[in-house]
Amino acid sequence: MTETLEKNMNIKWVKSPEGVFETYANQTHLNWSLDDVRLRFAEIGEGGEDDTGPGSNVVPVNYEKAAITLSWRNAKMLQAQLAKVISNYEKANGEIKILVKLASNEGT
């Protein structure tokens, strides 16, 4: 990482007088243009009023919670930060599995 990038990453963080928006997301989607990258964050949930709970009839949907647009430069800095924190996490806790299978809820 360049010295300038390291200096930019070490600028003090303070909370805005308006506060900080916080949300939870377990789904992401990316859109991009020549100028920027848009990250969309969502939480997966049941898709309608007729859904009665876990099982084979559940229709999952993503409830979009937030979207953030970054410059390509900032997206590249985020990539470096994520790579470092993920590497540290996996060294301490083992590899993060991306493809997982959910247990069946049939018969319960």
| DSSP secondary structure, 5-23, as one string | HHHHHTSPP---TT-----
pLDDT score at 29: 96
Residues in CB range of 78: below 8 A, 6 or more apart: 70
The owner of tokens 């964050």 is 41
Say if strands 60-71 and 27-32 run parallel, antiparallel, or are unpaired.
unpaired
Low-confidence ranges of the chain (pLDDT < 50): none
| pTM for this prediction | 0.71
pLDDT score at 45: 87
Give me the sheet containing 27-32, strands edge to edge. 27-32, 36-46, 60-71
The owner of tokens 């953030």 is 68
pLDDT digits (tens, 9 = 90+) for 67-80: 999 999 999 999 99
Residues in CB range of 11: below 8 A, 6 or more apart: none
